[in-house]
Structure 1
Amino acid sequence: MAGGPELANPLRLDVGSHKKCIAMCCIVTLASFQYGLDYALVGGFMAMPGFLREFGYYNETTKAWAIGTTVQQLISSLMTIGTFVGSLLVGPYSARFGRKPALWLAALLNFVATSVMIGTTNLAALYVARFLLGISVGWFLTFGQMYVNEAAPAHLRGLVFAIYQCQLSTGSIVGAAVDYGTKTIPTANAYRIPLALFYIVPTIQCVALIFFPESPRWLMTQGREEDAASALRRLRSADIAEDEFEGELSEIRLSTRAQVHQVQGKQLWIEMWRGVNRRRSLLSIAIICFHSANGSSWINIYTTYFLTVAGIANAFGFSIMMTCFGLLGVFFSIAFVRHIDRRIIILVGVAACGLCQLAFAVAWTVSPGTAATGRVMVAFITMFTFFYTTYAPYAWLLGGEFPNNAFRAHTYGVATALNFLGNWMGVFTAPYFINPASLGWNAKYGYIWFGSNMILFVFTWFFIPETRDRTLEEIHEMFEAGVPAREFKHYVCTDTQAMAHAREKGAEEPQVEHVDV
C-alpha cells in the first residue's frame, strides 16, 4: 500500500503465493451463484405463459395470461423472508457448529425446496418451498462470506469478494439465458427445466467442502488452537515461508484470545451492543444494508416484468444484456480493487446508482411510454447494474471486517437479516408502484431510490472507515482504540505488529475454552 502505514500482515503481498486459498474461496462462494440464479429465474417466470398457466389467471380483457399482485408478491418475497429468518439463526448455530456444517445444511434445504418447487402445482406448497429456499440461500451467502473473510489473506479479501460477485452475476446470466430459452414452452417445463439448475452448484460445493478446513479464526474462538493452526496451514501454500506462517498464526492467536477473553461467559447478543462493539455492529449493519437501500432489489427481480409492462420489446433479451453488463462491472472492479480505497469505490458506486435511478425516472415523467423513453430506461438500468455490481461485493466485505472475531457471526447474521428484510420490503412493495393495476408509477419509482442513494453517499463520507489491506486483527485494534473513521487509513497498529512478530511462549495470554451464545 504505497504511501500508507506499515502493515501487520506478515504474508507476501502478491496473488501467486496464495492461489490455493483463492481456489478454496472460489468454491465456498459458489453458493452466491444460487442467489443470482434465483433472482433471474423468478423474475422471468412472471412473464412466462407456461408458469402463468399453473399459478396465474387468464385476463379476458387483455386476452393474455397474467398473475395476481398478491401471488407475485408472495412468490418473490417469501424467499427473502426465508433469508431473513435463516440469517437470524446464523450466530447461535455458528457459535456451536462452525461454518462448514452450515453450508452442508444449506445444501440439504436447497435440495428439498427445489424438489417441491419442481413437483408441485399447489400455491401453498410453492410458498413453503420458496421460504425454505430463502433459508438455504441466506445461509449459503452468510456462512460463505464469513468463511472467506476469515480465511483469505488481508490483501486479497477484496479480490475474493469480487470473485464472489462474479459468481452471483454469472448465476443471474445463466438464469436469464435459460429463461430466454424456455419461455416459449407452453407447459410447466418452461419453469421446471430452469429450476433443475438449483441442484448443480450445491452438489459441487458439498463434495468440495469435504477436503476444505474449517475457518481458523472460528476454531480459535472455540479454544481449538492446534486445529486452528492446522486449518491455517491447509489454507496457505505448501511452500510458504515458516516465519510468514508463524507470524500470521501468532497475530490471529493472540488477538483472538484477547477478543474472546473480553466477552467470555457473557451473552454475545448483548455484548455486541455494548461499548465500542456498538459502533462496530451499527457500521456492519449499515454497510450491508446498502444493498437493499440502493434500490437493487426491485430492479434485479422485476427487470423482465418491468420492461414488459413498460411496452419494451424483447424484454428477456434486454434482461440478459443488462445482467452481462453487471458481470462486466465486477470484472472492472477486479482490476482496481487492490489499488483503490474501498471508501472511494462505495462513494462512486452509490452516487452512480442514484443518478441512474433519477435519469430513467425523469425520462418517464417527461415522456411516459414512448420509444425514446424506453431506450433511456434500458440504458440507465444497464448502467445501474454495472455500477451496482462494481461496488456491491465490497459492502459485504466491509460488513464482515468490522465485527469482533468472537461474535462476527452474530453481528453479520443480524446485519444480513436486516438487509434481507429491506430487500423484502422493496420486493413486496414494488408491484404496488410499478404494476399498472395499482399505482402504475413505472419508472417514476426511481425518484424514491435516488434520495435513498444520496443518503448512503453522505453516510459513507462521514462514517465508513478505510480497511484496505488491513488484517482483521488490525481492524480490531483500531476500533478498540476509538480511531475516527477518517484516520483508519494512516493509523499504525503497533500492538498487532508486535503480535505478528511474537512467538508462542506459553501462558502469556489468557487461554480460551469456548464462547457462550
Structure 2
Amino acid sequence: MSPLTVNPLKQDTLSHVKCILICLVVTLGSLQYGLDYALVGGFLSMPGFLKVFGYYDEAKATWAINPTVQQLISSLMTIGTFVGSLLVGPLSWKFGRRVGLWSASLLCYISTAIMLGSSSVGALYFARLLLGVSVGWFMTFAQLYVYETSPAHLRAISLGCYQVTLSIGSIIGSAIDKGTSTMESRRAYQIPLAIFFVVPTVLSICLFFFPESPRWLTVQGRTQDARKALSRLRNSNIDPAQLQAELATIEKSTEEQLNTKGKPAWIEMWRGTNLRRTLLSIAVVCFHSGNGSSWINIYTTYYFTIAGVKDAFSYSILVSCLGFLGVLTSVCFIRYVDRRQVLFWGCLACGLCQLVPAITWSVNPGSINSGKVVVAFIALFTFFYTMYAPYAWLLGGECPNNALRPFTFGVATAANFLFNWLGTFTAPYFINPAELNWSAKYGYIWFGSNMIIAAFVFFFVPETRDRTLEEIHEMFEARVPAREFKNYVCEKTGAFAAEGMGQAGSLHDDDSRSPSDGQEVNIESKA
C-alpha cells in the first residue's frame, strides 16, 4: 500500500471486519443486476417464455421472438436504470442512502409481481422499466454507501463485494434458467423471476440495524449523528485517537467542500475543478459499457444458440462461473496493485478477447471450431472484465467531492446505463440472423473501443489506491496531474488528522472515566 497516505486508521483488515460485513450486505442489491442479465438472456431461448411473448415460426418449426420485442425487453430495463440513476442525486441529498435502498426494494416488489402475473407484452414493458429504476437505485445507493463508510485502505475490498454479489447473481440466474428451460408452461420463467423477491427482503430488514453514511450526515450538518454513525461502523478495538482523527478529517474537509453551498449542484459539478472530476467519473464508469460487456452479458445464451453451440445454458453457467473467478482473483490483489495498472491491462485483454472471435468467424463462419473459439473467448472476456470492473466503479465514486458525489456519480452511472442501452438495443441488428447476421464479427467494433479506453487510462486516469476521500479531494483541488497522484503528499489533510489526534490526546489526559467504559460513549464525550 502507498506509504504516503495520511489515513489515521490502523492499516489492517481484522480491525475493520464489522464495516466490511455491513458493506457486503448493502451490496447484495447488485445481485439483482446479475440475476437480471442472466435470467432475461435465458428467457429469450425458453419455449415457455416464447409461447407467451413470442410467435411460432412455421418455416423453422420452432418458437421465436420478434427482434423489436427482444430489444424492448432487454433495453427497457436499461432505460429504467438510466432514469433511476439520474434521480439518485436529489433523492440522496434529501433522504440519504438507506432510504434510497428501501425505495429500490419497494419498486422491485411491484415490478416483479407485474411480470409474474401478466401475460401482456405492454405490462411486461412497464415492469421492465420499473425494475430498471429499482436496479439503478440498488447499484448506485449501495456504492455511495460503501465509498463513504469504508476505511480508505479497504474501500477496494468493500466495493469488490459489489462485483462478487453481481457475479453470484449471474451464476444463480444461469443455473435456474437451465433448470427450468425445458418447461413448456409459464413456470419456466415465473420460477426464476420469483428469486427477485429474496434480496430486497433480506436487505430491507438488515438496513434497520445499519447506520447512515457519516459523510452524508456531515454534509447535512448533523455532526453528532455523523460521529455516532462512524463509531458504529468501526470495531471496538480501534484506538479512540485514530477514530477522532478520522472524524476531524471528514468534518474539516467536508466543511471546505461545502463552500459552494447555495449554488445548484447540477451546475456546480460542471464548474472549476469539479469539471475535471465529473468528466473523469463519467468516463471511467462508462468503461463498463464501452468494452462490449453489455451485449455479451445480455445475449450470451442466445449468441451461443445461433452459433450452433450445443447445450447453450450449460455454457452460460460456465461463463458466469469464470466471471466469479475473475472477481475473486481481483479481490485477492486489489489492495496491492495500482488501479491504473489493472484498468490498463484489463482493457487490453478485453479488446483481444473481442478481436480473436471476430477474426475466427470471418475466416470460418458457422463452423464447430469457430463456435468453440467463440465460447472460449467470451468466457475469457468475462474473466478479465469482472477482474477489472471493480476498479472502474471505484474510481468513478472516488473522484467527486463529498457534497457532489451523489449527483456526479448518479450522472456517471446514468451515462453508463445509457450506453448499455445503446449496446443492447442495437446488438440484435448486428447478431440476429434475420438482420445483419454479423455474429462474432460484431467484436471488431468493441476491439477498437477497448483500445481507446486503454489509451484514456494511460494518459488521464489518476492513481487513488489507499487514499482517503479527503486526500483525493485535496489533490484535485491542487490540480495535481494524473501521473503525479501516486507520489503526492497531502499536507492539508495530514494536518486535519494530526489536529484530531492532538484533540483526542488532550481530552484523553482529562478523561477520568474507567477503561471499562464503552468506546462509542468515550468518543462521543470527547466530541
Shorter-chain TM-score bucket reads over 0.9
2:255 is matched with which residue? Answer: 257
Q: Does 1:403 align with 2:400?
A: yes
Aligned partner of 2:317 among 312, 320, 324? 320
Separation in 1, partners of 2:409, 2:238: 31
Q: Does 1:455 align with 2:452?
A: yes
Letter in 2 for 1:45: F
Separation in 1, partners of 2:238, 2:459: 40
Deviation of 1:238 after TM superposition, in Å, equals 1.5
Separation in 1, partners of 2:387, 2:55: 39
Q: Does 1:160 align with 2:162?
A: no
Q: Does 1:412 align with 2:409?
A: yes
3-state SS in 1 of match to 2:434? coil
**Pairing of 1:11-22 with structure 2 (within 5 A):** 11-22=9-20
1:296 is matched with which residue? Answer: 293
**Pairing of 1:46-445 with structure 2 (within 5 A):** 46-260=44-258, 262-445=259-442
Deviates more, 1:26-35 or 1:5-14: 5-14
Separation in 1, partners of 2:161, 2:108: 22
Letter in 2 for 1:353: C
Aligned partner of 1:501 among 485, 498, 501? 498
Separation in 1, partners of 2:419, 2:478: 32
Separation in 1, partners of 2:219, 2:51: 53
TM-score, normalising length from structure 1? 0.96
2:513 is matched with which residue? Answer: none
Letter in 2 for 1:342: R
Deviations 1:265-314, CA, capped at 9 Å, x for gaps: 11110010000000000000000000000000000010000110111111
Deviation of 1:502 after TM superposition, in Å, equals 1.2
Asked if 2 retains the 8 angstrom alpha-carbon contact of 1:360 and 1:380, the reply is: yes
How many residue pairs get aligned? The number is 502
Deviations 1:97-118, CA, capped at 9 Å, x for gaps: 1100010000000000000000
Deviation of 1:376 after TM superposition, in Å, equals 0.5
Separation in 2, partners of 1:88, 1:165: 22
Separation in 2, partners of 1:477, 1:341: 20
Asked if 2 retains the 8 angstrom alpha-carbon contact of 1:142 and 1:413, the reply is: yes
Separation in 2, partners of 1:160, 1:450: 31
Separation in 2, partners of 1:497, 1:61: 72
Letter in 1 for 2:185: T
3-state SS in 1 of match to 2:463? coil
Between the two proteins, what is the percent identity of the paired residues?
A: 62
Structure 1 runs not aligned, ≥5 long: 506-517
Deviations 1:35-76, CA, capped at 9 Å, x for gaps: 000000000000000000000000000000000000000000
Separation in 2, partners of 1:289, 1:333: 19
Asked if 2 retains the 8 angstrom alpha-carbon contact of 1:80 and 1:424, the reply is: yes
Asked if 2 retains the 8 angstrom alpha-carbon contact of 1:327 and 1:386, the reply is: yes
Note the aligned Cα RMSD (angstroms): 0.8
Letter in 1 for 2:132: G
Q: Does 1:466 align with 2:434?
A: no
Letter in 2 for 1:318: Y
3-state SS in 2 of match to 1:58? strand
Deviation of 1:417 after TM superposition, in Å, equals 0.4
Asked if 2 retains the 8 angstrom alpha-carbon contact of 1:353 and 1:453, the reply is: yes
Separation in 2, partners of 1:394, 1:36: 18
3-state SS in 1 of match to 2:266? helix
Letter in 2 for 1:127: Y
Letter in 2 for 1:239: N
Aligned partner of 2:31 among 24, 33, 37? 33
Structure 2 runs not aligned, ≥5 long: 504-527
3-state SS in 1 of match to 2:9? coil
Separation in 1, partners of 2:62, 2:5: 63
Deviation of 1:6 after TM superposition, in Å, equals 2.6
Separation in 2, partners of 1:20, 1:336: 21
Separation in 2, partners of 1:5, 1:156: 15
Asked if 2 retains the 8 angstrom alpha-carbon contact of 1:21 and 1:235, the reply is: yes
Separation in 2, partners of 1:163, 1:5: 25
2:511 is matched with which residue? Answer: none
2:519 is matched with which residue? Answer: none
Separation in 2, partners of 1:238, 1:257: 27
Separation in 2, partners of 1:106, 1:330: 25
Aligned partner of 1:477 among 450, 470, 474? 474
Letter in 1 for 2:169: G
Deviation of 1:5 after TM superposition, in Å, equals 4.2
Separation in 2, partners of 1:356, 1:324: 17
Letter in 2 for 1:268: A
Deviation of 1:263 after TM superposition, in Å, equals 1.1
TM-score, normalising length from structure 2? 0.95
Letter in 2 for 1:16: L
Letter in 2 for 1:500: A
Query: Structure 1 residue runs of 4+, over 3 Å off?
Result: none
1:509 is matched with which residue? Answer: none
Separation in 2, partners of 1:122, 1:409: 36
Separation in 2, partners of 1:27, 1:292: 26
Aligned partner of 1:8 among 6, 14, 25? 6
3-state SS in 2 of match to 1:210? helix
